[in-house]
């Protein structure tokens, strides 16, 4: 007895069928990739990365760089005793080292280079000269495309680049992580919260873990607060305005009847907060 069932097509054959009509522009290519995802030929995560790769090819460094005003820099005349608390507080792995001002880039310092000076076998610190740990700075223009930059990061084995404008003045910096996040999404750490979880989570001690993207109206309704909603949309935006600068992890501030502690933030935005109601504040039970 013959089996009339047609042979199953391979994954490659099915995927090739989608491209029988050659896409004419980027949007058509994206539409075809999304069709492949709907047909379960590729996974949603794979689609997201493919779209990220296409996006990176169109973006320039100026689109994602950390602005000059938010750069964590080390002055070349700082002592080891001054540098260590700064590195501990900001928790970055690399720092631009500057001279008289932020346009005077002397080089890049890796935080791990400080270990041999901060600790020693006999309990005494070695003599420290910041020039001994400096690495050459990688300077790039604002207009450099991200796909080109990523290739250069890999070939030159650099992880950070200093960005300059058309006049040669420093306008910001960019890291390899900043570029990769355009492809794979935010690289999470231990304080990140799954997207599917609630924006506000209450702990048994009466404190809350709150996503900075939480709308002020939702925050007010959940915690019985009365923060104004006219000027800012999110609780994170309201907090940054209150701080007066881009806050770093572990910074704390009181606002209204609550104490806010930054749990997760980068140079561009705040991600996660710990909220502690102060005495007399209404608390949801």
Residue 231: pLDDT band (50, 70, 90) is: confident
User: Given this chain, do its domains 62-184 and 200-277 carry the same CATH topology?
Assistant: no
Q: Determine the pLDDT at residue 16.
A: 55
pLDDT in tens, 104-148: 999 999 998 888 787 666 656 668 889 999 999 999 999 999 999
Q: What secondary structure letter does DSSP report for 7?
A: P
What is the distance in angstroms between the CA of the first residue and the CA of the last residue of the chain? 70
pLDDT above 90 covers a percentage of the chain that reads: 32
CATH architecture classification, 62-184: Roll (3.10)
What is d(CA 159, CA 166) in angstroms, rounded to the nearest whole number?
23
Residue indicated by tokens 């080292």 = 97
pLDDT above 70 covers a percentage of the chain that reads: 79
Residue 23: pLDDT band (50, 70, 90) is: low
> Which CATH number, 2.40.110.10, 3.40.50.300, 3.30.465.10, 1.10.3720.10, labels domain 200-277?
3.30.465.10
Neighbouring-strand partners of residue 202? 208
In this structure, what token pair is assigned to residue 111? 């935080």
Q: What secondary structure letter does DSSP report for 267?
A: S
Angle ∠(54,60,62) on CA atoms, nearest 5: 140
Lowest mean pLDDT among 23-27, 73-77, 125-129, 211-215: 23-27
pLDDT exceeds cutoff 50 at 191: no
Contacts 24+ apart (CB under 8 A), 181-189: 182/52, 182/55, 182/56, 182/59, 182/64, 182/146, 183/49, 183/52, 183/53, 183/56, 184/49, 184/52, 185/48, 185/52, 189/264
Angle ∠(92,95,98) on CA atoms, nearest 5: 155
What is d(CA 236, CA 209) in angstroms, rounded to the nearest whole number?
13
Strands 270-277 and 208-211: antiparallel
Largest CA-CA distance found in the chain, in angstroms, rounded = 88
- pTM over the 0.95 mark: no
More confident residue, 204 or 242: 242
Count of beta carbons in the 10 Å neighbourhood of residue 69: 11
Q: Residue 229 phi/psi, 5° resolution?
A: -110, 5
Q: Determine the pLDDT at residue 72.
A: 87
**Domain ranges within the chain, ordered by starting residue:** 24-58, 62-184, 200-277
């Amino acid at each position: 007895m013959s089996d009339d069932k047609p042979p199953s097509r391979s994954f490659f054959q099915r995927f090739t069928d989608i491209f029988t009509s050659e896409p004419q522009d980027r949007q058509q290519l994206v539409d075809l990739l999304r069709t492949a995802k709907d047909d379960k030929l590729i996974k949603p995560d794979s689609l997201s990365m493919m779209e990220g790769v296409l996006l990176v090819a169109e973006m320039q460094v100026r689109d994602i760089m950390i602005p000059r005003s938010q750069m964590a820099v080390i002055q070349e005349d700082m002592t080891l005793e001054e540098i260590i608390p700064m590195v501990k507080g900001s928790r970055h792995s690399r720092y631009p080292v500057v001279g008289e001002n932020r346009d005077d880039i002397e080089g890049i310092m890796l935080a791990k280079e400080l270990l041999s000076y901060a600790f020693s076998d006999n309990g005494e610190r070695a003599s420290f000269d910041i020039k001994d740990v400096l690495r050459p700075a990688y300077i790039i223009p604002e207009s450099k495309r991200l796909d080109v930059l990523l290739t250069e990061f890999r070939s030159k084995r650099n992880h950070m680049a200093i960005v300059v404008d058309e006049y040669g003045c420093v306008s910001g910096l960019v890291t390899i992580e900043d570029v990769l996040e355009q492809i794979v999404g935010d690289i999470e750490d231990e304080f990140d919260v799954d997207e599917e979880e609630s924006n506000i989570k209450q702990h048994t001690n009466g404190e809350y873990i709150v996503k900075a993207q939480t709308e002020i109206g939702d925050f007010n309704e959940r915690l019985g607060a009365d923060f104004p909603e006219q000027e800012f949309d999110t609780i994170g935006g309201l907090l940054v305005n209150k701080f007066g600068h881009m806050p770093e992890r572990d910074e704390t501030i009181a606002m209204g009847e609550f104490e806010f502690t930054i749990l997760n933030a980068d140079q561009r935005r705040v991600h996660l907060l710990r909220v502690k109601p102060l005495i007399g504040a209404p608390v949801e039970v």
